[in-house]
Amino acid sequence: MQNMEHKDYKRVIDDRWSFRNANTKEYTHCYHSYPAMMIPQIARALITEYRPSGRLKLIFDPYVGSGTTLVEACIAGIKSIGTDLNPLARLLSRVKCTTYNEREIIDELSEIQSRLLFFQESMVRDCSFEHISNYSFWYSKDSLIKLSYLSQLIDEYSSSFNKDFFKVALSEVVREASYTRNGEFKRFRMKEEAISSFHPDVFGLFERKVQRNICGLQLFNKVTGLCNDTHVYDFNTTEAIPSDIICDGDVDMVVTSPPYGDSRTTVSYGQFSRWANEWFRFENAATLDNLLMGGKKTKTKNFDTISISEQLNEIGQRDEKRYLEVVSFLNDYSTSIANIAKSVRKGGVVCYVVGDRRVKNVQIPLDFFTAEMFEKHGFKHNITIVREIPNKRMPSKSSPTNIAGNHVETMSNEFIVILNKVE
Ligand SMILES: C[S@@+](CC[C@H](N)C(=O)[O-])C[C@H]1O[C@@H](n2cnc3c(N)ncnc32)[C@H](O)[C@@H]1O
């Protein structure tokens, strides 16, 4: 362990938290990729090592994403609530925390597989793809027809309770069978040469993903038993948290990884999820990124900060537009912190895994800002653990201009900010 100086919010580099050789795809964590996923080992270690003293009955993840925290809460036998504006995130979180009956799933997969053997185009009932924007630009006709057939078989051969399990596997195939470039979260189309030799095995991909997910489910079912108290909602953390879902002081522990900037200039959750959100006709598929934190541009700063004021001034001097983008995000972020702070009981703990980003060559220490905002709402900073990001789980570079290949350095360390609500 080694200290990194800061006058108010102590950072401690702790190599243990890098989890270099850990299997991050254990249990249902293997189901589906998602941008900027939290490593399950972090949620697990936080729940074990930083749990609040006294009651630990409810864990809250206000940016649930693919549900990493909820799965770990489930495994620890603790009730959890998650929220996310992205319908795909909610689907993943729910499915990853559901103890489906393995036997039923295996039997239903066999039924589907036996139908796939005799596939003919004429069997596909729904060949209208109008709900998928620009569908012939993004898919071959062969892929669209086969994806539609998979949807049809899921509808016919899985029970209503099990359908979502299969939809999660299909969701990944919908993305992988498209002409989107590998390794990008944004929607960049492959080059023409690559498209001419791209013939995805749509059925094979689906079968392999279902089989992989069944293995994850079997392990998950072993460790969770049937005790499962997980709830996923779609409220916006920048608006008040609905009191019929969480009352002030209900939450014992928050374990989360929020976005570290708006979707356009950092990670585009909406673009990544658009394939599945459109395929399943989920709401706001095309506009999601504008609804997420920082999606609406504001012209004024609604918060006071000491911890990052120099950095904000510096960015403002270099580029007014970029300054307003950062401020728009921080306006939403600080409002959401005020809401989340209220939901936590006295003595409760919040753990935020955040990244620093660089804008106009200025590093913005979001960990200091997070600690400062929580301290305005009755919390005391405990520690900030600094971990290196060993795997490329998210692009270390991002393209604010939306031009492929036009990259700037954004982050390589993660900061786990831990605060306690003052008794
Ligand atoms: C870094 S990801 C969470 C990843 C998650 N920890 C995991 O392991 O998959 C941040 C999430 O915040 C969600 N989000 C952004 N703004 C939001 C808001 N205002 N209210 C609720 N969720 C929001 C995004 O849709 C995204 O899924």
At 391 the pLDDT is: 55
Token couple for 367: 């960990």
- What is the count of structural domains for the chain? 2
**pLDDT-above-70 percentage for the chain:** 92
- Claim to verify: residue 20 and residue 148 sit in the same structural domain: no
CA distances from 157 to 18, 83, 128, 164, 173 (A): 43, 30, 21, 12, 19
Residue 227: per-residue pLDDT? 61
| 49 and 107 housed in the same domain | no
Instruction: Name every protein residue with a CB atom under 6 angstroms from any ligand 1 atom.
Output: 34, 36-38, 63, 65-66, 68, 83-86, 89, 236-238, 257-259, 269, 292-293
The partner residues of 158 in beta bridges, in order of sequence, read: none
| Nearest residue by C-alpha to atom 17 in ligand 1 | 292
Separation between Cα atoms, residue 17 and residue 97, nearest integer Å:
24
The rounded Å distance from CA 3 to ligand 1 centre is 30
pLDDT at 203 over 70: yes
366, 270: one domain? yes
Whether residue 85 contacts residue 236, with contact meaning beta carbons closer than 8 Å, is answered with yes
pLDDT for 389 equals 81
Does residue 237 sit in the same domain as residue 220? no
Burial of 225 (0-12, 13-18, 19+ CB in 10 A): exposed
- DSSP of 2-23, one letter per residue? EEE--SSS-EEE-GGGG-TT--
User: Of 196, 162, 165, which Cα lies nearest the Cα of 179?
Assistant: 196
Ligand 1 centroid, distance to 311 Cα (angstroms): 25
The whole-number pLDDT of residue 398 equals 46
Residue 83 CA to ligand 1 centre (angstroms): 8
Mean pLDDT computed over every residue of the chain: 93
Same domain, 112 and 84: no
Q: Are residues 311 and 409 in the same domain?
A: yes
Residues 20 and 168 in one domain: no
Per-residue model confidence as pLDDT tens digits over 106-143: 999 999 999 999 999 999 999 999 999 999 999 999 99
Residue located nearest, by CA, to atom 20 of ligand 1: 236
Q: Which of 195, 224, 253 is the last residue of a domain?
A: 224
Residues 329 and 356 in one domain: yes
Closest CA to 421 of 382, 385, 372, 368: 382
Q: Whose CA is nearest to atom 12 of ligand 1?
A: 63
Residues 232 and 298 in one domain: yes
Atom of ligand 1 nearest to the CA of 288: 25
- pLDDT for position 278: 98
**Mean pLDDT, to the nearest integer, of 243-263?**
97
Q: Whose CA is nearest to atom 15 of ligand 1?
A: 292
Tally Cβ neighbours within 10 Å of residue 282.
17
Residue type, 42: I
The last residue of one of the domains, among 207, 224, 241, is: 224
Looking at the CA of residue 263, tell me the nearest atom of ligand 1: 15
Measured CA to CA, the distance from residue 288 to residue 271 in angstroms comes to 8
Same domain, 365 and 297: yes
Residue ranges making up the domain that contains 210? 102-224
**Higher confidence at residue 391 or residue 247?**
247
Q: Are residues 364 and 292 part of one domain?
A: yes
% residues pLDDT > 90 (the chain):
88
Tell how far the Cα of 317 is from the centroid of ligand 1, in angstroms. 30
Please count the residues of the chain. 423
Task: Report pLDDT digits (tens) over 27-46.
Answer: 999 999 999 999 999 999 99
pLDDT over threshold 90, residue 412 = no
Ligand 1 pocket test, pick from 19, 37, 84 with the greatest ligand atom count within 8 Å of Cβ, gives: 84
**For the CA of 92, the nearest atom of ligand 1:** 9
What confidence category does residue 403 fall into, taking pLDDT thresholds of 50, 70 and 90?
very low
221 exposure class (CB count in 10 Å sphere: 0-12, 13-18, 19+) = middle
- Which of 336, 249, 341, 248 lies closest to 295, judged by CA? 336
Ligand 1 atom, smallest distance to 236 CA: 20
Query: N- to C-terminal Cα distance for the chain?
Result: 29
Q: Which residue, of 224, 249, 268, is where some domain finishes?
A: 224
With vertex at residue 368, the alpha carbon angle to CA 363 and CA 369, rounded to the nearest 5 degrees, is 90
Do 271 and 122 fall into the same domain?
A: no
Q: Whose C-alpha lies nearest to ligand 1, atom 2?
A: 65
**Contacts (Cβ under 8 Å, ≥6 apart) of 93:** 64, 65, 66, 67, 70, 82, 84, 230, 232
